[in-house]
Structure 1
Amino acid sequence: MNRKGNRQHSPTPPKQKWQNIYLALCVLLGMHASCETEESFYQPRFPANNIPLTRQALFKPENFFAYTDSTLKAVISALRRVEEEKHFTAPFLLKYGIPLWNFTYQLTEEEETCIFVPLYRLDKPHCIDAIWLLHIKDGWMKFLPLKRDDELIRESDQVFIFDLLSYLVFGEENAQGLTFKPHAQTRSVITVTQCWDVYTGPKDQLEYSYTNCVSHSYWVDDALINNSNWNSEGGGSGDVWIGGGSSGGSGSSSGTPAGNIFKKEADQDSLLWVITENMTARIMEDCLGGDLYSQLKEKVKNNKINLEFDFGKGYSYNWEEHTLHIGLEELEANNLLHEMFHVFQTTQEPISSFKSSMMNREIEAHYAQYLFLQRSAEWTDKKQDKYAKSQRLRATTSLTKYVNQQGHVTTSFLDIFETYISNNVVNAFRQEGYDNYPFKEYSDITNIFPNIKLTTKNCDE
């Protein structure tokens, strides 16, 4: 198909009451000179040597929970359980980035631990602009994502932890040009050094003169913030019992849901693959989507679908190249399902037949997408408004008056339905980007959506 627009465990103990609960941020409340004290405080886990890091190879995880540090096993296990219930990872990835579990920074005081997880984004090279704060105490883990420009960070001028994690991930190649060294004293103090090479002479004949360095010492203190909730945009905040459970380690793309139907190239970006995995998992949770996935998995097992990510919102399937295109600006499971449905359609009939009835197949894919969408978490007020304002999408939703969720036409409408499709639905599609799509009159109007019938035969009405 040529490019087209977007059409798209151990028993958990009773939970304790968190009275006056505030999440210990453990990020510095202010810039302080090094403080001589014998007071016991958070002891950080920091790189063993004290020399500047010239470069650390960026660990690109295969999935959202990929890790090799065994001390994080309970943490990962708990967050996996949250994902199974809340499905927060897809929006989290889009808003904050992918967790780099192998570059966490940990602070511990007796039975209390803070873990700072750097969140990596493709559009932020050599810079960590978001972190995931995990606070563990009395068997409970509270977690909250934070951005460098969040109000709390701005008001307290606490960008230090973001700079530190940038340094741990990128070494001296961090965008801020900072070098970090642990400071030898009882209180947890980190010394930050920023250096400039000074040159003299004309612009085209510069000669090195000297290096000027300025050092500042920071000490870790508590900041208190209210806990966010699961309705916050991007997800990733809440609390969970961390005791017990297990996790599966780093994992790989082989044998994963997305890996069963899509081809993962060696240079495929890890973040985009994780997003694909999450969208595929969402599709599999739905009856129609799950049956579509299962049948498609068998159809393409010897010739998996190529994936290409494009700028913009457009999704499409090119059957000649066996390539599914995904728009980076609207990474949603319902859009992916739409194109997977087109792939499935092309496996059910000759390409020549498919090409001669592309309008028919487009209407069917739209209806399948709508059936999935209205049952999913992606059916938001914003999405409903989009459907209300589009003539094509309104025509798609109107089909529910005539066709049930298994693709069967209501008997009482058989006399008028074909005329309704030709005069109303097809015309609505032609007004919005599908004017050149061939439409074939139905030989049997009761079989208008044969592929929806195939993918919903095991689903309840």
Structure 2
Amino acid sequence: MKTKRIKRSVCYLVVLLIFGLILYSCLQDETDLDSQETTGKIIKGKNRELSIDVARSWYEAHQTPVVTTRSVVTHFELMTKLHWKKGYENRKGKFEVVEVPLLTRGGAVLMDSETMEKYKETERGKIRNISRMVIIKNLESGEIINFVMHIVGTYDYLMKAKHFEDNSYLYRAPDLSGSVYFYEPEGSLVNGWQYEDGKIVATISQGTEEGSRMQDTIDTRGMVLKPVCHTESVYMEHNECNGFTYQDPEYGLSFGSECRKVGTWEKVQVCIETPTYEEDSNIGGQWDPNENTSGGGGGGYQPQPIAPKAKEIFRNSSMTKENWKVIEEKLEKITKSCMGKALYNGLKESLKGKTLAIQFTKDKNSSFDLNGSGIRLTTASTSGDFFHEMLHAYQSYRETYDSMSSAKLNMEIETHYAQYLYQSSLPEYTSDSYWKKRDMQHLRWKAIANLNNLIDRKGNLQPNTKLYNLELELLNVVIPALQSNGYPESKYTLDLGRVGIVNFENIRELTRNC
């Protein structure tokens, strides 16, 4: 009996010991992961948010299944498709990455000109490149982006590299020699880096011989870092197959295909910054090839920022890249005018680092929502419409909620007149333009445009104009024109205490330096 109790106790101890070891192992793994995160090491296969399934769901909701790598110079296109079963996860710091190999049509292989000239058929097994779709999530901002990455090794590197496929977006082998290219999912080259023995030695951009010569004419003097550029060609080899029919004596009419390997040379521009003496004293600093390029340890995708001016003051996490570009174009046009530039800067200053919501809508008219929904633009809106709603946003930061709510029509009078001033300053505002005809024929806009006889382009009274002349024009012409054409009294409150020049205070403020 006593022996049984001892055995039972020993069993309990063994079970507790095993459980403790398992718990310790789990905690140790978690500690190791946290330690790797804080030290900036790459953690493979353990993404916490951007798993392969999440990346695939995001990708299929935002991109097409077939990806094209395209040259704007030669018009060559390489069609590829994602091989999700071979995708893998890794992360470093605040970024989680999913890389998915690309299946290329015709079994395409990318190689540089040296490799094309040197390699023999017996070495074909060593001639390979890396082609992957890279999907990245910024864990701090929540933003997800994607692009295509091609890694092409030099001939000497490919011949000796035993683990070429270990190279990835976050990791570059310490002996990597070759080029890393980043392409937009739509096909155009964004940027790239050239490596020698694991160190970045040159930048890569899409270009031609003419582009290289243009790069070589930088107007600086002294000992400067001057980009010395040349064009290199990357050979893209793939199978080209033609189908045919033939008569088989046993099986009758049959079908077959005849394939041959063909290739196309893809031009890219390679620039190496070298110290160059010029005659002036504009001295450049020491060039660090790893500076601003994520070093030799990976990364390096550097797309041009999309809509930087728009994103400085507006936000919309679900807006497409194309729509952001439309907003940016409108802002570029608006800020070319003096009042438009002041409006943008004034709104930016009022926001104090925050952003205003913006979206495109299928509504009939664009609008600004005082309750926090921001600006809503119709898909057919012009820069003038955008200017109008931006001024409403600007007004809201100079009013209280109650004061603006009780003077909605007063606000419309100012935004309408400001929009007229902006649009009438544009080069397309000609005698036969739609906008000019609208201002002469549409009752509301005609009343607004005629204010120019009483108020100048800075919101001040015209010479020899009395204040009561403006007040009578507003009460008898402008206000009735707005109320009978889209701005009814039931929805647009009027503060009669503001009738007169006080309605144009923001225009005077914005045009102070114009």
More strand as a share of residues:
2
TM-score by length of 2: 0.44
Q: Which has the larger radius of gyration?
A: 2
Bigger relative contact order, structure 1 or 2 (CA pairs below 8 A, ≥6 apart): 1
Q: State the TM-score, normalized to the length of structure 1.
A: 0.48
